[in-house]
Amino acid sequence: MTPNIKRRFFSNLLLATFIILTSCENETQTIDYEPNYASSLDATNLPSGNRPMTMFEDAESPSKMYNKNDRWFRVNQPLQIIQKGKDSVQISLYSPVGLTDVKIYAKLGNYDKRFVLYHFTKIPAFHRSTHQIPLVAGKNDYLLETGNTVTIDKIDGFSTGAIEFSIESTDPLFSKFKKIKSSQLVQFNDGYHLNEPNKFLPMNPVLAKEAITMIINYSYALSHPMYYDTFIHFDRYKQEQATLAGTPVSGATDWHGNTADSNGVYDYFSKSEIEQQYLKYVDNRTLWMAMVTGASALGGGNLASQWESDYITGHWKGEMSVWSHEYSHHTGYNHDSNLANSGEGGGQQGMLTDFYKYLIYLNDLPFTDPEILKGWTKTSYLSKIYSKPVFKIDPKNPFLLKYKGEGKWN
């Protein structure tokens, strides 16, 4: 059969032929052609050749999670696709809950349409596996994003970056991931407890899984339109708080910087500057997550940290004050700024904590059930005994009082 259309282009100096089978304008449909797509994959049941594994298993050596060349992810991309060599990809899911119905698309340099490279019916929590790129195996049919078909001849290999990967899924959890604005690169760093053992303690995979769960939730909360609206209009929030309490506005009336208060005179940000401060919270910096001893939690530069108890039980109950404070140090604010503290009549520590609890109440975070990880039960990996975290919202929570159960991010 003579193909209707042949498109040729060079990719990595290799000539490839595309045969487009479609009924679009200016193209004719190939009659009675039955495309032969690759079978869907269930990542819970892969052969050994795919090297399937579960990352952060409880007994896994912590040295693996501290390997910054191997364990890292962008917080808005918990499902990670990395090309390995010229003919394979590594798929890693940094999530305590798996995904269903995941399509991984490919786009080649001189072809303007995406096509399905892999379709996974299931990818389990913290999964990693390696897969040959089908394009190097031989001539195959691929489903285009338009619903049509493209046939691509064998290509012998690809240099790094020659294929642009993207992901789509009907899974509701994936839709939450896509809403996260922050693209911070999350890693763990053993330099802190090795260099300052009196201040920091080593983490382990049990704690790392809790930390990953928390930072995805936290980044979702920072990205939430209700949080953005409150952050941008913090002066309004302060007035609403005062009105509810029946008192005048106390302390700083809006966000301000790191200059110390001079008898009630603050270095306030303008409205346009407040927008820029918000964007700093959802940028693409590197975040190193660590754990401290019984002394003060610490943050600044790449670092944000908190105690074991907050990783195991605190974040499930919405106790995010410490993390908010240290994350604000990580973002560049010191104790004189109300972006880092809860003083001066209220700052971000208290506002973020109340907001995070309201999202748990709404069930409007990616993860709200501590049974997902059961971290508190894994006593051999913890320094003390913990009880199962039980969430309760204060009936005086300002977001509950204002929004009365409304405001879920649909």
Give the pLDDT score at 12: 35
pLDDT above 70: residue 408: yes
More confident residue, 283 or 344: 283
Element at 116 (helix H, strand E): strand 115-123
Identify any residues that bridge with 303 across adjacent strands, giving them in sequence order: 288, 300
Give the pLDDT score at 154: 92
Average pLDDT over residues 258-264: 92
Give the pLDDT score at 62: 97
Average pLDDT over residues 337-355: 88
Single pTM value for the model: 0.92
Average pLDDT over residues 98-106: 98
DSSP annotation of 338 reads T
Please return the burial class of 410, using the count of CB atoms within 10 Å of its CB with bins 0-12, 13-18 and 19+: exposed
Average pLDDT over residues 364-385: 98
Half-sphere exposure of 63 (CA within 13 A, CB side): 1
Average pLDDT over residues 203-213: 98
pLDDT above 50: residue 15: no
CA distances (Å), 404 to each of 36, 102, 167, 359, 396, in order? 53, 35, 36, 12, 11
Give the pLDDT score at 160: 85
Average pLDDT over residues 313-328: 97
Give the pLDDT score at 340: 95
Contact partners, residue 141, CB within 8 Å, separation at least 6: 21, 35, 36, 37, 149, 150, 151
Identify any residues that bridge with 201 across adjacent strands, giving them in sequence order: 291
Average pLDDT over residues 332-343: 90
Q: How confident is the model at residue 30 (pLDDT cuts 50, 70, 90)?
A: low
Percent of the chain whose pLDDT exceeds 70: 92
- CA atoms of 2 and 16, how far apart (whole Å): 17
Average pLDDT over residues 377-383: 97
Average pLDDT over residues 27-46: 79
DSSP annotation of 204 reads -
Give the pLDDT score at 24: 30
CA distances (Å), 328 to each of 192, 230, 294, 325, 333, in order? 19, 17, 21, 5, 6
Nearest one of 377, 408, 68, 392 to 210, comparing CA atoms: 377
